[in-house]
Amino acid sequence: MRKLATLIGVILLYAACKNGGTQATLPIYGNRDTKTITKDGKQVVDTIYQTIPAFRFVNQYGDSITQNSLKGDIYVADFFFTTCPSICPIMHRNMLKVYSEFKNVSDFKIISHSIDPKHDSVPILKKYADGLGISGNSWWLLQGKKDDTYNLSASYLVRRPEESAKELFIHDGYFVLIDKQKRIRGSYDGTDEKDVARMIGDIKTLRAETNPQIAQ
Amino acid sequence: MKFKIIAGLVLILSVIIASCGSAEDMEFKRYYLGGEQLYKQRCQNCHGTKGEGLSNLIPPLTDSTFLKTNKKQLACIVNNGLKGALVVVNGKSFVGDMPANNIPPVDIARILTYITNSFGNKMGTVKSEDVALSLKDCK
């Protein structure tokens, strides 16, 4: 009887260890559709996932940035404005940790969309980047047509920003993780240190994922 | 028997005195704890849970020398904010705006008591009267 208990114990322990050892795959978020394609002469049903559509913005260096600038990259996107008195300082205090962790990784980027392009000109964004202490091309602060930015927010499944008299702008504090196929793989509360730590773990998981198909 | 009663009374009294602390301690605690709440609501987003600030954008609140040298100005900064001001903290220059709070002197005193006695600072209680005086000399 005692031997049996020990045996069960060992099996349970092994199962627990094995479970912890395997790396989970991140879910794919957003709407999905199906398409019938012909593969090797046979008709098969393929899943079409929601992806981030094409865009064109300018970064803090005045360079034009489009979806192609992020080709082959995993990236995190957020929405902010430089004069934001509420959640943005917390978000970017947390984002700095993400930046430090991955700044030397060639296939990872951070993009922060300004929702106040009227104030946040390229020189203002550069000054903000210098103040944050970020350099190089691993974290871009983007600005462009206000409507383009606001419309794009819907593709990231975050709340559309709004202007208000008191808070100036109302927006979400989410960090959205996008894979190399431009699909949404995670959404995290950028104001929560623990959730951002979870995101750092998820970025590592996503980078380890092998998928040769990269969206054009 | 009499001795035991006296000894007992002395013991009870000393426990009461030790647990209550002095009136000044009580006053400090009232200001400090009130300040902690106000700090969370009004200051923490920008200046951080540990008063660490944000890179070169938002100054930290850990520079005891700055706080001591500018003691008279602190109430004005909390109440009126800053606009394009150059502030040198921990040897780094900060230029930018800080929003105004426009709150009663007692709340400013609570916030200042919290800040000047947290994050490695130890400057004692900032009282409501001190703040009211400082506010008269705002630049």
Which chain A residues contact residue B58 at CB under 8 A? 89
Closest CB to A92 among B54, B56, B97: B54
Contacts of B46 in chain A (CB under 8 A): 85, 89
Contacts of A83 in chain B (CB under 8 A): 97
Report whether pLDDT(B26) > 90: yes
3-state secondary structure of A189: strand
Q: Nearest residue of A to residue B52 by CA position? A: A93
User: What residues of A are in contact with residue B97 (Cβ under 8 Å)?
Assistant: 83
pLDDT in the model for residue A216: 40
The total number of structural domains that make up chain A: 1
Q: Which CATH number fits domain B23-136: 2.60.120.10, 1.20.210.10, 2.60.40.10, 1.10.760.10?
A: 1.10.760.10
With respect to residue A155, please indicate whether it lies within any of the assigned structural domains: yes
Which carries the bigger pLDDT value, residue A153 or residue B2? A153
Residue A108 falls inside a structural domain: yes
Task: Report if residue A44 sits inside a domain.
Answer: no
Exposed / middle / buried, residue A150 (Cβ in 10 Å: 0-12, 13-18, 19+) = middle
Instruction: Find where tokens 């509420």 sit.
Output: A86
Place of tokens 């709004």: A162
Q: Does residue A166 or residue B43 have the better pLDDT? A: B43
Terminal C-alpha separation, chain A: 62
Helix then strand count (H, E) for chain A reads 5, 11
User: Using CA atoms, how far apart are residues A187 and A190, in angstroms rounded to an integer?
Assistant: 9
CB contact under 8 Å between A90 and B45, yes or no, is yes
Residue A46 resides in a domain: no
Q: Given CB atoms, is B25 within the 8 Å cutoff of chain A?
A: no
Kindly state the average pLDDT of the residues B27-47: 96
What pLDDT, in 10s, does the model give residues B59-92? 999 999 999 999 999 999 999 999 988 899 999 9
Q: Is B58 on the interface with A (CB under 8 A)?
A: yes
- Tell me, yes or no, whether A1 lies in a domain: no
Question: What whole-number distance in Å separates Cα of residue B80 and Cα of residue A200?
Answer: 39
Cα-based distances in Å from A58 to A33, A76, A143, A163, A177: 32, 17, 5, 22, 21
Would A8 be classed as within a structural domain?
no
Q: How far is the alpha carbon of A92 from chain B, nearest alpha carbon, in Å?
A: 8
Task: Answer whether A87 sits within 8 Å of B58, measured CB to CB.
Answer: no
In chain B, which residues have their Cβ closer than 8 Å to the Cβ of A85? 45-46, 99
Q: Which stretches of chain A are DSSP H helices? A: 2-21, 88-102, 122-132, 146-155, 193-208
pLDDT at B36: 97
| Helix residue ranges, H only, chain B | 2-20, 23-42, 44-47, 64-69, 71-80, 105-115, 128-136
B99-127 tens-digit pLDDT? 999 999 999 999 999 999 999 999 999 99
Q: What is the pLDDT of residue A85?
A: 78
Give me the pLDDT at residue B114, please: 98
Per-residue pLDDT of chain A (216 residues; tens, 9 = 90+): 667 666 665 565 555 555 444 457 999 998 888 888 888 888 888 889 999 999 999 999 999 999 999 999 999 999 999 988 788 999 999 999 999 999 999 999 999 999 999 999 999 999 999 999 999 999 999 999 999 999 999 999 888 888 776 556 777 899 999 999 999 999 999 999 999 999 999 999 999 987 655 444
**Which residue segment(s) compose the domain that A73 sits in?**
51-208
Q: Give the domain CATH number at A160.
A: 3.40.30.10
Domain locations in chain B as residue ranges: 23-136
Task: Give the pLDDT score at A78.
Answer: 96
Average pLDDT over residues B34-55: 95
Distance of alpha carbon A81 from alpha carbon B12, whole angstroms: 60
Compute the radius of gyration of chain B from its Cα atoms: 20
CB pair distance less than 8 Å for A133 and B56: yes
CB A176 within 8 A of CB A50: no
